[in-house]
Chains A and B, each alone.
Chain A
Amino acid sequence: MEFKVRACRFNPETDEKPYYKEYTAEDYPGMTVLNALIKIKSELDGTLSFRRSCRSAICGSCAMKINGITKLACKTQVSHEIDKFGIINVEPLANMPVIRDLVVDQESFFDKIKEIKPYLLGQREDEAHNRFHALKEGEKISQPVYYKSEFQNLTGNEDTPNCILCECCYSECGGVVGNKNYLGPAALAKLYRYSEDPRDNDKNGSRLVGGSKPDGIWDCVHCQSCEEFCPKGISPVKAIVKLHEKSVKNSITFSAGSKHVVSIARSIGETGRLDEVKVAFESGGITGLINDLPMAFGAGLKGKIPPLRHKLIKDMEDIRLAYKELDLEDKL
C-alpha cells in the first residue's frame, strides 16, 4: 500500500520559516515510521534530517511529533497512523529550538536535568568506610548492604529509573509551553527518583526545598500529557504529585503551590466544599488578591460571586472522620 509522509523541513540558515515536503512510500507489514523515514532518506531525499539510533525504543533518539503527538518513530507503526489519520505528518519536538528539519537543540532539556543534581548526594553515615582511601595491607573492600524493600518506591512498571531521556514528555508538557523556565516532567521525575533513593543522603531536604522554588514542582499544570505520552509507561505527573505530598508532609510550604494545596484541604476539612475566595486569598496572599482585583471586580459585576459563607455539606462529620483517621488534623 502506498502512503504519504508530510515532513516538516527547516534549515534556519537558509529558510525564513518551516515548510512541509510530501513523500510517497510503500508500506510493508510491521513497518515503523522510522523505517519509512530511513527509506525516504536513503531512496528519495538524502537531505531530510532526523535523529535515530537503536530502532528498539531504548535510546530515545527518534522522538518526534507524529500526527501532532510526540512519539518514538521506531515504536510507531505506519499502519496505525494511516488507519487513524490517513497520512503521516512528522514534525520536530516542541518546546526546543529546531537545528534542522526534525532535529532539535536539546541543551535546555539537559540543563534542566543537570539542575536537579541527577546523582546521589553525600554519603550515609554507615557508608563512611567507602570514602576514598588507599587500602591497607590485608584490608578488604566492603560493600554496604541494601535491602530490596528500601527500593520499593523505585520498582514496578511506572518506575522513574526507566526514563530514556527521549523528551516526549518535555515536548508535550503544558507547563513548559507556558513557562520556558519550568524544569519539566523528566527532570522532576528524576528529582523524585533521587529523593526516594535509600542511598541518597540529602540531610537538609535540599531536593524538596530546591524543587519547591519557582519553575519547580508546583508549576506543573497537571495536564497529564507526560503520563499519557511517555513511551516507557512512566508517570512523571504522579512522581511530581508525590513530591508535593512529601513537601507538605515535611512542612516545606513556602511556595504558593503548596499553600494552594493545603488551603484546598483545609476548605474541604471545614465545610466539605471548595471555598473559591478563601483558597484564592490563602494561595496568592495580599499581592495575588490585589493583582486579581480588576478581574474579580469584573466577574463580580457579572454576578459571578461565590458565597462568602459556605453551608456545610450533609453529614459533614463523615469528612471530619476521614481527616481524623488519616491523622491530618494538625496539617491544616
Chain B
Amino acid sequence: MITYAYYPGCVAQESGKELDNATKFIAGKLGMNLIPMPEASCCGGGVIDGFDKNLKLFINGRTLALAEKDGLDIMTICNTCTLTLSEVNEELINNPESLEKTNEYLGKIGLKYTGKVKVKHILYAVRDDIGFDKIKEKAVKSLKGIKIAPFYGCHILRPSSAVKFDDVENPHGFEELIKALGGEPVSYARRTKCCGFQTILVNEATSTSLAGNAIYEAQEKNADVMVTPCPLCHLSLDTYQTVAAKSINKKLSLPILHLPQLIGVALGADYAEMGFSRHNVSLRGIMAKIRQNEI
C-alpha cells in the first residue's frame, strides 16, 4: 500500500466530482492510500502569480509543508495544480531567499518546509509507484480495439524545468498506459498542445478554437475517445465541446474521459460508478463496445 497526501484541486471537488470519485475508485483497487488534505487551499488556478507572486509561494508552500509534516508526497489529478505546486517546490528548494520568506510566514501558523515533498501527478504516480504491469494484471475489461487519443495538455509537460515526468518533446507515458490496458493510442500532433482553458473566461473564441481543433484532429484520426489527465482540459474539451464546434465550424462528437475513468473502466467500474452521466458528450457507445471485451 502506497500512501499519498491527496490534493484533488478545486474543480474535481466541484463541477468535476466524477474525477474525484473515479480516482478514489482506482486508488482502492490499486492499493493507493489517499490521505485527504482538508486544510489545503486552492493552488491559484495557474494565474495567482499575476495577482501576487509571494501569495503563490505562501499558499502553495503551506500545502507542501502540510504534506511534509505528515511525511507524505502529494498526489495530484489536475495538470495546473501539478505545475503550480511543482513550480513552488522548485523555487523553495532552489532559492534560499524565497524559502526563508515563506518559512517566516509558515512559522506563524506552526509549519515549516524543508523541501522534502515530491509532487506527483496520478498518471506518473501510477507508472512509477504502482507500475502499468500491475494495472494490466488487475484489469477485468480489455480496451482492445478501442482507438484512444491521449491529450496531455500543457502543464503536465511544460515547463520541463518544473515538471519532469516525461520527455517534453516526445512524451510516451500516456501511450504506454493505453497499450497496457489493451487500447490503441492515436497519434496526433495536438496531443501536447493547449486546450485553451486558461482564457476561457477571458477570450472564449481563442480558447474554444484550441480545444475544437484538438478534438477535430483526433476525430479525423478515427479516435473513439479522447482521454485527458486534467479536469480543466476536460471542461474545455467536453463541457465546451458544443461551443468549440461552433467556434471552428466543424461537427464534433468525441467522448472525453478523465484519465482515472479510463483506468476505472478497465478495472471493471460501471457507467454509474464513473459518473459518465455527468459528461456532455455521451459515453454510451464506447462503453457498450468495452463491455463486450471480457478478459
Residues of A within 8 A of B (CB): 67-69, 84-85, 174-175, 177-179, 182, 214, 218-225, 227-228, 235, 241, 244-245, 248-249, 255-258, 260-262, 264-265, 267-268, 272-274, 276, 279-280, 283-284, 288, 291-292, 294-295, 298-299, 302-307, 313-315, 318-319, 321-323, 325-326, 328, 331
Contact = CB atoms under 8 A, between A and B. Distances in A.
B4 interface: no
A244 B51 CA distance: 7
B19 to A, nearest CB: 11
A265 B240 CA distance: 24
A178 B41 contact: no
B198 interface: yes
15 contacts: A84-B169, A178-B203, A245-B50, A245-B52, A258-B50, A260-B201, A273-B41, A276-B15, A280-B201, A291-B204, A302-B279, A313-B40, A319-B62, A322-B55, A328-B51
B115 interface: no
B210 A228 contact: no
A221 B50 contact: no
B189 interface: yes
A248 B52 CA distance: 9
Interface of B: 10-11, 13-16, 38-42, 44-55, 58-59, 62, 83, 105, 108-109, 154-155, 158-161, 167-170, 189, 193-194, 196, 198-199, 201-207, 209-210, 213, 239-240, 242-243, 277-280
Contacts of B239: 295, 298-299, 304
Contact of B47 (A244, A255, A315, A322): A244
B198 A274 contact: no
Give the top 8 A-B pairs by smallest Cβ distance, nearest first: A244-B50, A174-B194, A178-B206, A224-B158, A223-B194, A306-B14, A274-B10, A283-B201
Contacts of A174: 154, 193-194, 196, 210
A256 B205 contact: no
B242 A265 contact: no
B122 to A, nearest CB: 20
